[in-house]
Amino acid sequence: MNKPDPAALGIDDMPGHRIRRLHQISVGIFLQELGDAGLTPVQFAALQTVAHSPGVDQRTLAGTIALDTSTTGGVVDRLEQRGWLERRNAPQDRRVRQLWLTDAGHEALTQAVPAVQRVQEQILDPLDEADRQTFLRLLHRLVDSNNAHSRAPGDPR
């Protein structure tokens, strides 16, 4: 049996490598736009999720943004220390901590949204509108179809 030749594999033709590179680029653009605000992409995702679902519990937040619960706890801790999120005991179960944006968190998110929109536009800028729609449709399909393989699967929507 012939052994495969590692030199025959072109790394630039591997989807995993290209996805990793696009992620690096995406984070780089995000930090260029929002670095001065001290906001990371994951923190933005957490704030945005809480804004869309006030009172969401930490476990649900973790599933929504596809992080493990301990990492999500650290993200929430940092956002709470900045005064952007508040934890409250759930009235129906005091063991459950619900998350709420503070006024400062709402303001930080409001300030961040235009920059985040610019980030998305810059990432997609090389594509015309039809290619953008196709790319996003295929990206959704790949993520949804491979979600179970993640170390922290997101909640299917």
Q: pLDDT tens digit string along 82-91?
A: 999 999 988 8
| 143: alpha, beta or left? (left if phi > 0; alpha if psi -120 to 50) | alpha
Q: Calculate the alpha carbon distances from 113 to 29, 70, 127, 136 in Å.
A: 14, 26, 22, 20
**pLDDT at residue 48 is higher than 80:** yes
How many Cβ atoms from other residues are within 10 Å of residue 91's Cβ? 9
Domains of the chain: which residue ranges? 28-113
**pLDDT at residue 1 is higher than 80:** no
Rounded distance between C-alpha atoms, residue 36 and residue 1, angstroms: 56
With bands split at pLDDT 50, 70 and 90, how would you rate the model's confidence at 157? low
How much of the chain exceeds pLDDT 70, in percent? 99
- At residue 90, what are phi and psi to the nearest 5 degrees? -70, 135
In the chain, the amino acid numbered 86 is: E
Q: Calculate the alpha carbon distances from 62 to 66, 79, 102, 116, 118 in Å.
A: 6, 14, 19, 21, 26
Q: pLDDT tens digit string along 89-114?
A: 888 888 888 999 999 999 999 999 99
Higher pLDDT, 157 or 6: 6
Distance of CA 132 to the CA centre of its chain: 19
Task: Look at residue 83 in the predicted model and tell me its pLDDT.
Answer: 97
How much is the pTM? Answer: 0.88
Task: Look at residue 156 in the predicted model and tell me its pLDDT.
Answer: 61
Q: Provide the β-strand partners of residue 89.
A: 97
Higher pLDDT, 124 or 95: 124
Q: By mean pLDDT, which of 52-61, 94-103, 146-155 is the weakest?
A: 146-155
Task: Look at residue 105 in the predicted model and tell me its pLDDT.
Answer: 97
Average pLDDT over the chain, rounded to whole?
93
Indicate the fold that domain 28-113 takes in CATH.
Arc Repressor Mutant, subunit A (1.10.10)
